[in-house]
Structure 1
Amino acid sequence: MDRIENLSLRDLRLLVTLAERRHFARTAEEFGLSQATLSATVKKIEAAFGKPLFERSSRHVGLTPEGESIVRQALIVLEESSVLAQTFQSVSAPLCGRFRLGAFPTLAPYLFPLVLPGLLATYPRLQLVLTEALSDELVRMLRTRQIDAALLALPQDESDLATWSLFREPFWLGVALDHPLAKKDVLTVADVPLEELLLLEPGHCLRDQVLAACGTGYLAHRRLVHAAGLETQRALVAARLGCAILPALATRRPDTTIKAIPFAPPTPGRTIALVTRKTGQDDRDTQSLVAFLRRLPDSQSLLEPA
C-alpha cells in the first residue's frame, strides 16, 4: 500500500494514456518524455502494484487482466480528482482544463472543423482531447470513463447515460454529375434509386439510418458494394458506381465530382445529441457545451433545430 500511495496523479494519467494509445512512442510524445523515461515510469507503476500491467512485444502493447482492472480504477480516481478540484476552485469557469470528447466517423471530420475554432476562442482554457470511433465503441468508452462526452445520433436507449438533443442534420442524395437525377434541384425519398444505393459497412450508424429512411426495399437488390467511409463512398459515386445518402455537413465543401441534392419536406435525417454519464460529470461543462452546440443551426442553414 505504501508504494501505491507514492504514485502521483500524473503517473495515473500516464498509465491510462498508455492503455488508450497502446503505443510507447506516442504516449511519450504526448507527455513530453523520452521513451526511456516513460519505460522507467511504467516499471515504477508496475512495481507499486507488484505485478505486470502491460504485455509488450516489438509490435504490440497490451494490458494484462490485472492491468485492465487497475486502469478502470485509475480512471475513476482521475475523474474524482477532477471533480474535487472543480468543487474547491471557486472562481473556475466552465470548460477549463482537460475535456475528452468523442464523435462517430460520419460526423467528426465535418463537425469538428466547423465548431472547434469558435469553441476554443470562447473557452481559451479548455484542453480538448478528441476521439473518433464507431457509436458502440464511444458508448463503451463513456462507460469505462475513457471519454467525458460523445456526440451520437439518437435514439440512445441506455438508461445509465444522459442525452441532450443538439440539432437535426438532414440527408442529401449524392449522384454522379451525368446521372439523370442530377438535373433535379430537390428530391423525395421515393426518387432514390434503391438498386443503385451504396451503403457504409456494418457498424456505421449512418448505414442503419439510411435503411430506416429508405425502407427495406434496398435489401431486395443485394448490392455487394459497401464503403468503409463517406469519402470512399463519395469517390464511388463520382466513378458512377452508385448513389449515396450524405449527411448535410458532408456536403458543405465544394465538390466538382458529384452533385448533392436536398430532399423536400419531410426530409430524412438524424438528430445529433451530446451524451454523458449520468453521474460523475461537472454539469457546468455539459450545459456550456450543449448551449454552444445548440447555436449551430442559427449559423448553418444546412442544419435544423432538434
Structure 2
Amino acid sequence: MEITQLRYFLKLAERGNFTRAAEDLLITQPALSRSIAKLEAELGQPVFERHARTVELTDSGKLLLARAEQILTLVDDTVAEITDDGRTGRIRLGTIPTIAPYLLPPLLRGFATKCPQSNVIVYEEVTEKLLQRVLHGEIDLAILALPVPKQYLHVETLFEEELRLVLPVDHPLSKKKQIVLDDLQPYSFVLLDETHCLSNDIVSFCRQRSLQPVSVERTSQLATVQELVSLGHGVSLVPAMACNLDDSPRRIYRHLAGTQPTRTVALVSNPYRFESRLVKLFRDFVKSFRYTMRK
C-alpha cells in the first residue's frame, strides 16, 4: 500500500465520482481506476460500491478512510516538521463563502509579499465542513464567523463586522433618514440557505427583537442575494465587507439605527496538531491584518 494510493482513495471518497476525483488529482480517470483496483486487490476486498455515476464506501472502505486520514496526517506533519524553515511550504486555509471573496484577496496579496515562497491553498466551504476539516487535520486554519459549536478547537477573535441593510435603489425605505428594524416588518427577506451561518445570524438578530423575517427566496451565493434584492424580490442584511466591492447603481446599503446586527469573524485551528513555523507566521499575519470597511 502506497501513500499515493491512500491520497487517491481519500479524494475519491470525498468526491464520490471517478471523473471529478481524477480532475482534482490532475490524473486521468483510467489511472485513478487502476490505482483503486490495485488497492482493493491488495486488501482482498472492495472499498467502494460502484453505481452508475457515483461510488460510496463499503464497510471496509469506511475503516480504511479513518486509518488513511490518520496515516496521511502523520506523514504530512512529519514532512512539515522536518522541512520547517519558516519561509517555504504550504498553508491550508479554509474560509466560508461570505468571507472568502472579500477578505482573502487583500490578505493573501499581503502575505505573498511577506513570504513569496509560501503556497496558500484555499478551501471555501460552509462552517460545518470546515470545522470537520480542522478537526481531522485536513486544513491548518479556518476563517469563519462565530459561534463555533465544536469542542477541542482553538478560537481567536479577529474582528466584529456590521451587517448592513441592502435595498433596491427605488425602495420606499431608501428615502428614510433613519431605518430601524421595525421598519422592515412589512418586507420579505432574501437569505442564503440554512447551511450558511449568516442566515442564522440574521434570523436570530431579528427574532431577539420580535421580528420574524419571512424568507421568500434562499440561495447559496451572497452575490445572488444582492441581485435578487436589486430585482425587487425583498430586502436583506449582508456583511459590510460585501458592500466594499459592490458598485451597482441598482441597490443601496444602509446602516440600521439603534442596535446594529453584527457577526464576529474568528480564526480557528486544532491545538492538538503540529503547527509549522510558516503556519504560525501566517496566523500572526492574519491577526495583525487590518481590513478596511467602507463607511
Return the TM-score normalized by structure 2: 0.86
Alpha-carbon offset, residue 34 of structure 1? 2.4
Aligned to 1:145: 137
| Structure 1 residue 193 corresponds to structure 2 residue 165 | no
Instruction: Note if 1:18 corresponds to 2:40.
Output: no
Q: Deviations over 1:233-269 (max 9, x none)?
A: 2122112222110101111121222101234575421
Please state if 1:280 is matched with 2:273: yes
CA distance in structure 2 between the partners assigned to 1:265 and 1:97 by the alignment: 47
Any residues of structure 2 matched to 1:127-276 within 5 Å, and which? 127-183=119-175, 187=178, 189-190=180-181, 192-198=183-189, 199-216=191-208, 217-219=210-212, 222-253=214-245, 254-263=247-256, 267-276=260-269
Match of 1:65 in 2: 59
Question: 1:19-38, aligned counterparts within 5 Å?
Answer: 19-38=13-32
Structure 2 match to 1:111: 103
Letter in 2 for 1:22: G
Provide the aligned length of Structure 1 versus Structure 2. Answer: 292
Q: Provide structure 1 residue ranges, at least 5 long, that are not aligned to the other structure.
A: none
Question: Percent of aligned positions with the same letter in both sequences?
Answer: 30
Residue 39 to residue 157, structure 1, CA distance change in 2 (3 Å): closer
Q: Deviations over 1:90-112 (max 9, x none)?
A: 6x115x43433222222223333
Query: What displacement does 1:161 show?
Result: 0.9
SS of residue matched to 2:22? helix
Tell whether the 8 Å contact from 1:100 to 1:131 is kept in structure 2 after alignment. yes
Unmatched tracts of structure 2, length 5 or more: none
Gap change, CA 1:76 and 1:120, over 3 Å in 2: farther
| Distance change in 2, residues 1:64/1:147 (3 Å) | farther
Task: Supply the distance in 2 between the matched residues of 1:283 and 1:164 (Cα, whole angstroms).
Answer: 18
**Counterpart code for 1:194:** Q
Using the size of structure 1 for normalisation, the TM-score is 0.83
Letter paired with 2:41: A
C-alpha RMSD of the superposition: 2.7
